[in-house]
Structures are given as C-alpha cells and as structure tokens.
Structure 1
Amino acid sequence: MENIKREILLAILKETAALNHVKIDDIAKSAHTPRTLVRDFIMEFSEGGLLKIHNETIAVNGAQRLKIALKAAELGSDIERIARFLTWSEFERFSRISFEENGFIVKMNFRFVWLSKRWEIDILGVKRPIVISADCKHWQRKWSGTASLRAVEMQVERTKALAEASRRLAGKIGIKGWRYAYFVPIVLSLFPSQHKFHERTPIVPILSLNDFLQNVIAHLDDINSFYISYA
C-alpha cells in the first residue's frame, strides 16, 4: 500500500502546484488509483494534518505541501521527482514566514559590495543581537553529499564578508544603533542533508527552521558565528 500512498501524495503535489485545492476525482485520475481507495487515504492524510478536506475537495497550504513532500520521501518516492512539484518561490515564502513569525525582520536577496566584490545572500533575518544569513538550496541529487559541504563553506564566506562590512552597511542591514551583533551563517535545505553541521555551521531542513529560530540564541556558543562590536 505504500506505493499507492506515494502516488497519491505526488498527485496532490502535482495538482495543487498552481491552485491550493483540487477535487478527489482529479487526484484519482492523476494517481491512476480507484477513487474509493484515494478517498480512504485522503481521510488518513487529513487526520494526520497533511491536508484539509471539505465535501469532495482537498485544500492544502504552503506548509502542508512541504509536509506532503517529506511524507512522500519517507515512503520512498524519488526526491528529484518530488522536487519538480515544489517551486522555489514557495520554498522562499515559507522561509520568510518562519522568520517573521519568530520576530525577525526579513530582507530577501540582500546584495552588497565588500573588498571590490559583489555578494548576495538569499535571506537575512534580523533580530537583536542576531543576524541570520541563510542560503536556500532547493534540491539536486548530488547536493546532499559533498556539494552541501561546499555550499556551507561558501555561505560562511558570504557571512564573514557581511560581518566585516556591517559597520558601513548598518542602516541597510537594519542594525543601526546596535552595540554588537552575531552574524550566523546557515544553509536551508528542502530535504534533510547527510550532514546536520559542517564546521559548526547548521544545515537546516526547511520544516525544522521554526525550531531552529526559537532556539538559536541559546546555542550561539555551539554554532559558527561572527561577532562584531560597534562600541
């Protein structure tokens, strides 16, 4: 039955990529599965919080789509196939919401120049005394191994440059008037990587971002950061 569940979950992702709702009949057709069986599994998914159902229509929000993707992966679906049904914009949008719900001011695609070089950081999350510098990685099969470690190293380099430039960029970053700041590099991934850390820099699965943000201040001594004093 797991293979049937996988196909139904993938069909939900596919059919809700453009709109957040879809008829059960359309899921059955897309999954090539009898409607009665599809409805039984959809009721199970609804009870598990993966979706909502009203009459014969399924509705999902952004967070639920990500949970559906992870559930499909847990059941053995090919991750690259799953990733085709998830857009970059919903990945970034969910990240932004997580930051904002935890009290961070968010700056997307933050660009700056330092030491005659142009830099760009996908997401900055600013909440005194922390500036989280996040690089967003969607998914490629090769990414979860050594490529993820290289991504971390590059993000550390970007964050170090930002920290060094921060006195000049205080207004743009949103830290004007701060006495000091911790610049924390992280890599956000759609799916869990083989590595949770590299050189004390976190690789954070997107659905773990909320928990990470809630606890980051308590773990500053344990993770990589760049401390800058403005006194």
Structure 2
Amino acid sequence: MIPLLNLQSLVRGIKGVIPGGISVKDFSMATQTSELLATSILDNFLQNGIGTYQDNMIYFKENDRLKAALLAISMGAAVDEVSRLLQWQDFESLAAEILESRDFDTDKNVILTNPRMEIDVVGIKSGTAILIDCKHWNKMSQSSLESAVVKQIERTRKFLAKEKVHAAIPAIVTLYQQDMKFLEGVPIIPIHQLDSFCEEFSGNIDEFYSQSNV
C-alpha cells in the first residue's frame, strides 16, 4: 500500500481523468492540487498505462477514468470513496470489471424485448447468471429499494425465459448501503462487497436461488 497522503492524492487525481487532452496546469486546476503534485499523479497514471503523453499534453481515453479508479482501489483506496468519483456508466463498468475478475462472462446494458427491459450488468458462470441493477444513488429510500427489487425480479424472469442458462439470480448493487442484506430474496450488495459476493457465488448458488422469488 502506498503512503496515505499519496493514495489520497491519487484518488483526487481521478477527477482530472477526462477524455481528450489536458495540460498539467489544467489537470492541477481540475483536481485542486499544485502543479508539482499534479505532475506526480500524472506520472503515476502514465506508468500504469493510463493516458498517453504527447507534446506536453496528457491524452485520456473513455475508459481511463475507470482504470484510474481500479488502480486506486488496487493500492488500498476504499471502493466506496472511489465510486463517488464515477459516473453511473463508470459504476456499471466497475461492477462488470469485478465480475470479470472472478471469471464471469460479462455483458453490460443487455436489452430484452416485448416488453423492452434493460439489465445493467449480466455475468454468467457455469451456466448460472447474476443480473445486476446498479444504483449509483446518494441515498435510497425503502420504497425506492423495494421498487427496484420488484423490477429486477421481473427482468430476471424474462431473462430466464429467453436465455439458455440453468438459473439466474437478481441482484442490486448500491454505493452507500452499509452491509449486504436480502429484500424479497434479492441480495442488496454494496459495491465494496461485490468482489467477496462473487468469490462466494458458486458455493452459495442454491441458497441464493432458494431465497429469490424468480
């Protein structure tokens, strides 16, 4: 783990990872750091394959913010702290990246038709699917959470009817939920616990499936 001050600076640097070209001066303004510290952060990013340097400018691609977030997490940054700096698209990509790291075949924004439904992230492993609805909200009321669960169960039933999988588990991934819990048999998983959930997924499929209302 890198020193705390440097780690905090690295997390702050995520704010400045914007697609296109940016100078050190503009990066320091975007991240509210000194130009010296901005240079250090950018050097760290470049050394880890995030961005490219050309003509005194650093050029970032669309997925570089996610790569910067994953770098910070790998160095010890809190997942929920990093997630606050991501847009909802980044949040979905982070969830998909975690599933892929646990050997799930993963797709994002899966569309079902008649009626049209969209699933944020689908991961399939050993014939069993986990269908994730990502909720990048600051706060979730109980009624909002209950509504999200009902809709995700509906999506999962439709997915099961159309796709060739043995079983499918609906799940909600949130940013601020403190601990994993079940609502109507659906796991509500804070993003910082998604990796451990995926690690234990195969050994608990029967339990998850028996609790769900799919």
With the length of structure 2 as denominator, give the TM-score of the two structures: 0.62
Q: Among residues 134, 139, 142, which one is paired with 1:142 in the alignment?
A: 139
List aligned pairs for 1:3-42, cutoff 5 A.
Answer: 9-10=11-12, 12-19=13-20, 23-38=23-38, 42=41
Q: Among residues 135, 156, 164, which one is paired with 1:174 in the alignment?
A: 164
In the alignment, structure 2 segments of 5+ residues that lack a partner are none
Cα offset for 1:73?
6.2
Residue type matched to 2:194 in 1?
A: L
Residue 205 (structure 2) aligns with: 220
**Residue 90 (structure 1) aligned with residue 86 (structure 2):** no
What percentage of aligned pairs have identical amino acids? 19
User: What SS does structure 2 have at the residue aligned with 1:193?
Assistant: coil
Residues 73 and 148 (structure 1), Cα distance of their counterparts in 2 relative to 1, 3 Å cut: same
Cα offset for 1:63?
3.9
Residue 128 (structure 2) aligns with: 130
Deviations 1:62-107 (A, max 9, x none): 24326659659659xxx8xx45xx3333333333344445142536
Cα offset for 1:193?
1.2
Mean alpha-carbon deviation: is it higher for 90-99 or for 57-66? Answer: 57-66
User: What SS does structure 2 have at the residue aligned with 1:223?
Assistant: helix
Residues 3 and 105 (structure 1), Cα distance of their counterparts in 2 relative to 1, 3 Å cut: closer
Cα offset for 1:5?
8.1
User: What SS does structure 1 have at the residue aligned with 2:178?
Assistant: coil
**Residue 196 (structure 1) aligned with residue 180 (structure 2):** yes
Whole-angstrom distance in 2 between the partners of 1:7 and 1:37: 8
Is the contact made by 1:8 and 1:28 (CA closer than 8 Å) also made in structure 2? Answer: no
Residues 119 and 214 (structure 1), Cα distance of their counterparts in 2 relative to 1, 3 Å cut: same
Cα offset for 1:119?
4.0
**Residue 161 (structure 1) aligned with residue 157 (structure 2):** yes
Is the contact made by 1:66 and 1:207 (CA closer than 8 Å) also made in structure 2? Answer: no
Equivalences, count: 198
Residues 135 and 161 (structure 1), Cα distance of their counterparts in 2 relative to 1, 3 Å cut: same
Is the contact made by 1:159 and 1:184 (CA closer than 8 Å) also made in structure 2? Answer: no
Cα offset for 1:186?
0.7
Is the contact made by 1:110 and 1:123 (CA closer than 8 Å) also made in structure 2? Answer: no
User: What SS does structure 1 have at the residue aligned with 2:208?
Assistant: coil
Deviations 1:118-166 (A, max 9, x none): 5443233233331212112222x232x5256325522453256337x62
User: What SS does structure 2 have at the residue aligned with 1:106?
Assistant: strand
Residue type matched to 1:135 in 2?
A: D
Is the contact made by 2:107 and 2:121 (CA closer than 8 Å) also made in structure 1? Answer: yes
Cα offset for 1:214?
3.0
Q: RMSD of the TM alignment (CA)?
A: 4.5
With the length of structure 1 as denominator, give the TM-score of the two structures: 0.59
Residue type matched to 2:112 in 1?
A: R
Is the contact made by 2:128 and 2:168 (CA closer than 8 Å) also made in structure 1? Answer: yes
